[in-house]
Amino acid sequence: MKDFLEKRDKGKLLIQRSRRLKQNLLRPMQLSVTEDGYIHYGDKVMLVNPDDPDTEADVFLRGDLSLCMTPDEIQSHLKDELEVPCGLSAVQAKTPIGRNTFIILSVHRDA
């Protein structure tokens, strides 16, 4: 019981980690708005593939597909932060959330 209470107080219980993970992945995000039409370091963007009505519905997922991260389920419950790099997939979602919003970073950390 002591071990349980200690983990609960530190937020280390599996249910607490799972709840935090869902909150981070599903939290609403605000995309960047560009004034000059270009993407800049630090911008928050979504990558969307628009639907192509000419493709066969049996072969491809239909609709506008956005790129989203698919973190390793076990690792995400064991660590406090998501492991990068992680898997990617596409979903039929156009609402910016933590899972499908990406921040443009520079290879050089000082840029």
Structure-token pair, residue 50: 């628009």
Question: Angle at CA 64, nearest 5°, toward 61 and 66?
Answer: 95
Percent of the chain, pLDDT > 90?
Answer: 26
Identify the bridge partners of residue 45 per DSSP, sorted by sequence position.
Answer: 102
Across the 111 residues of the chain, what is the mean pLDDT of every consecutive 10-residue run? 88 81 85 93 92 66 84 70 80 88 84 60
pLDDT in tens, 16-37: 887 887 887 888 999 999 999 9
Helix/strand/coil percentages in the chain, nearest 5: 25, 15, 60
Q: Where are the domains of the chain?
A: 1-104
Q: Is the pTM of this model over 0.85?
A: no
Instruction: Sort residue 37 into left (φ over 0), alpha (ψ -120 to 50) or beta.
Output: left
